[in-house]
Amino acid sequence: MTAFRHTLFCALLLLSLSAWSQNGATASASTVPPNAPLTVDDALRFAKANEPQFRSAVAEAGIAHGDKVQARAALLPSVAYTTGIIYTTPNGTLTGAYVGANGPHEYLSQGVVHESLSFAGVADLRRTQALEALGKARAEIALRGLVATVVQSYYAVIVSDSKYRNAQLAAQEAENFVQLSQKLQNGGEVAHSDVIKAQLQANDRQRDVQETQLAAEQAKLGLAVLIFPDFNPDYQLVNDLDKTPALPDFPQVQQLAATNNPEINAAMAAFKASQYEVSAAVGARIPSLSFDYLYGIDANQYATYTPDHIKNLGSQVVATLSIPIFDWGSLESKIKQAHLQRDVAKVQLSATQREALANLRLFYREAQTARNQIELLKHSADLAADSLRLTTLRYQGGEATALEVVDAQNTLVLARDNFDDATARYRVAIANLQTLTGSF
């Protein structure tokens, strides 16, 4: 009854822990109120929980850790307990029908300590340790890539919404120009061709409104698929494009990349694993030694003493030395394969290092250029708005043509869109740079 109560208590404890973990996971995924705007950090947290490639990379890192634990356990002594009976057909003798039997009834109840020592086993442990480091580096690569993807999708939604509003403003300005040209035509101040030109411009702007609205919906749906476990297109984002993050100096970025580049770490770990693969293949040629210590009974009675008071309980030590002699070239073939894999890993490491150096300069230059263009394009947008205002006044005074007004309108739309693209471009450039350096 006591054992039953203990089992029941354990089962209830496991159920409560499972429920707690599920509730905790749900709580962590829903820390943002349903109608509250999402920040980029919120979007990243959701993506970490729901993006399959990132979750796969994390799982592979966990599997690599398990392989290391198993390889280490293979080098440590193991303890087991065995119990059983061997029944042999009696034939009137002490041993029974089988020559190798110790008696018609043989009982075994033994504890076994086993230890196996081999150079290949040690090399395999080192290899799994390197593969664990490789798994961690790949998980970090996946995380930083996910951050860049989320940042790009997040600000694509914000920019597409801004372009939609720009298109709406441009459509309103074009409609105002239509009304102005009609008014001036009625007063005999401009020709009917100005009204036609204004109407064509208004039609184009209405089409732009429809296209930008569609692009905004597509961007919003794309981000929803990336971050939410369930399809949820109804959400709002926090627009923080006006808060421009700082860009460190290039020497500081170089130092961060030198110590915190997961791609180089992954290539280095893969190269180390290939080296230990060679060691393991060579180690298979070296003799291996195993020990077994057995303590218990192996007797004709299931008892520590026979009826004649002879002690059945005892111990036994077995040592085995295994010396490889001939294997039809199998070991030599494995060694050659390991050498080939090591050579490839070495070339990949060198290529990764060169590519990382090039990407670091390229990504930093991209971020630097985007940052420098933000203020310039903001100034251009202000100038374009002022130019449209002045050109419209000149048109009203008969000093400008309809083509000049239309050109000023197009210039303003382009300037506004370019400014929005530049602010998002800088955020994406920072995210791409941080795939090599980590956060700064």
DSSP output for 2-34: HHHHHHHHHHHHHHHHHHHHHHHHHHHHT-S-T
Half-sphere exposure of residue 356: CA atoms within 13 angstroms, side-chain side: 27
The string of DSSP letters for 339-360 reads: HHHHHHHHHHHHHHHHHHHHHH
Dihedral in degrees, nearest 10, Cα atoms 173, 179, 184, 188:
140
pTM for this one?
A: 0.79
Q: Return the pLDDT at 34.
A: 62
Strand blocks (E) in 186-343: 288-299, 314-322
Q: Return the pLDDT at 23.
A: 41
Q: Return the pLDDT at 43.
A: 94
Continuous segment of H or E residues that includes residue 215: helix 192-227
Strand blocks (E) in 228-344: 288-299, 314-322
Query: Residue 95 has which token pair?
Result: 């041993």
Contacts 24+ apart (CB under 8 A), 69-73: 70/128, 71/121, 71/124, 71/125, 71/127, 71/128, 72/125, 72/128
* Residue 418, burial from CB neighbour count under 10 angstroms (0-12, 13-18, 19+): middle
User: Residue 341 and residue 356: Cα distance in Å, rounded?
Assistant: 22
User: Residue 296 and residue 316: Cα distance in Å, rounded?
Assistant: 9
DSSP secondary-structure letter at 244? P
Mean pLDDT per segment of 10 residues, for the chain of length 440 residues?
A: 40 38 41 75 94 94 95 93 90 80 87 92 93 95 95 96 96 95 91 94 96 96 93 90 90 93 94 94 92 92 87 92 92 94 95 95 96 94 96 92 94 95 95 93
User: Residue 67 and residue 131: Cα distance in Å, rounded?
Assistant: 9
Q: How far apart are the first and last CA of the chain?
A: 61
Does 1.20.1600.10 match the CATH number of domain 47-76+119-286+329-437?
yes
Q: Return the pLDDT at 155.
A: 96
Q: Return the pLDDT at 33.
A: 59
**What's the CATH number for 79-117+287-323?**
2.20.200
Residue range(s) occupied by CATH 1.20.1600.10 in the chain: 47-76+119-286+329-437
Residue range(s) occupied by CATH 2.20.200 in the chain: 79-117+287-323
